[in-house]
Homo-oligomer: A and B are copies of this chain.
Amino acid sequence: MVKGTINRRGGIRTHTELNQDQLYVTVDLLVMTIRQERLTLLLSRRTNPPYASRWALPGHFIGMEDSAEKTAENLLKEMLPVRPYLEQLYTFSALNRDPRGRVISVAYLALAPFKQLESVMARQGNTFAAFQVATDREELLLTGESGEELTETDLAFDHGKIIRTGVRRLQGKLDYTDIGFAFLENQDAFTLTELQTVHEAVMGTKFDKSNFRRQIQNRYIRSGQMKSTDMQISGGQGRPAGIYRKIRTDDSTIWS
C-alpha cells in the first residue's frame, strides 16, 4: 500500500505508489536548445505507469538533502557535461496533476547549446529524444526527429502546460535580458549571425540583418557587455564573419 517513501539519504525509492496522506515535491526540467535553427526540447519517454510510454519532462523527486535548485543541478549533471543556464520557471500544484497522489512540481528552465546535448542523446537515445517546438503559435506543437507530432494532450501529466509556460517565459525575456547567449556554443567566440539564428529560432520570426546588428551593438557593446575580437571565421562560404565575445557579468541575481 505505502511503497513510496522519502528517506533522508536517497530521496524516493519507488514511485509507483505514493503515500496518500503525504505531499511530495518534484523538480521538472525544460532542457532547451537550438538545433537546426529551431527551438528544441528534450523529452524522456516514460517506462513506468502512470503515462507509461508517453513523453514527459525529465524530473526527480526532491529529497530531504537537496534544495529544488540542487535537485535540478543533480539531474542536469547526469545529462550535460557542464552546468547550463538554469532558472526557476514556475511551481505547479494543482490537485489532480499526478494520478499517483499529491505531487507539487517546481519547474526549471535549462538552456544549453545543442553540442552539449549530443552526448546524452547518444548514450540514452532510447529514453531521451529532441523535439522541435513551434514558436510561432500559442498552442503547443512538438515535432520529433522522425516527423511525429505531439500536442499538449499527448504529454504526461500537465507537462504540456509547463512547456507552454516555459516557451512564453523564454520569449518574453529574450529581448530584455542576456538569456539568448545561453544557447551559444561558445560565448567567448561567436558571430552575430549565430546570435541572430538563436533569436529567430526562439521567436519564430525572421529579423532584418542590419537592424538586428545595430540593436545588439546598442544593447551590449555600448555597455561593455560584449566585445568584438579581431578574429574571423575562416572555413565557411562567403565573406568571413567577425567573432564576438560576451563579457561574463556574474551578477548571480535571481531574476525570476
Does A23 make an interface contact (CB < 8 A)? yes
Nearest chain B CB to A161 CB, angstrom units: 9
Q: CB-CB < 8 A to A254: which residues of B?
A: 90, 165
User: CB < 8 Å: which of B7, B24, B67 contacts A93?
Assistant: B67
Distance of A145 from chain B, by nearest CB (Å): 30
With a CB–CB cut-off of 8 A, which chain B residues contact A91? 68, 88, 91, 106
- By a CB distance below 8 angstroms, the chain B residues around A66 are 95
- Indicate the size class of the contact surface on chain A: 20 to 34
A25 contacts B by Cβ under 8 Å: yes
With A90-B256, A254-B165, A256-B90 as known contacts, state yes or no: A95 contacts B65, CB within 8 Å.
Answer: yes
Identify which of B6, B165, B169 contacts A23 (C-beta below 8 A).
B6
How distant is the Cα of A169 from the Cα of B256 in the complex, in angstroms? 8
Asked if A34 is at the interface of the complex by the 8 Å CB criterion, the answer is no
A65 and B20 CA atoms in complex are apart in Å by 11
With A68-B104, A165-B254 already in contact, the answer to whether A8 and B21 are too (CB < 8 A) is yes
CB closest residue in chain B, given A102: B64
Contacts of A165 in B (CB 8 A): 254, 256
Known: A6-B21, A67-B94. 7 other contacts (CB 8 A): A23-B24, A25-B25, A89-B256, A165-B254, A168-B255, A169-B256, A256-B256
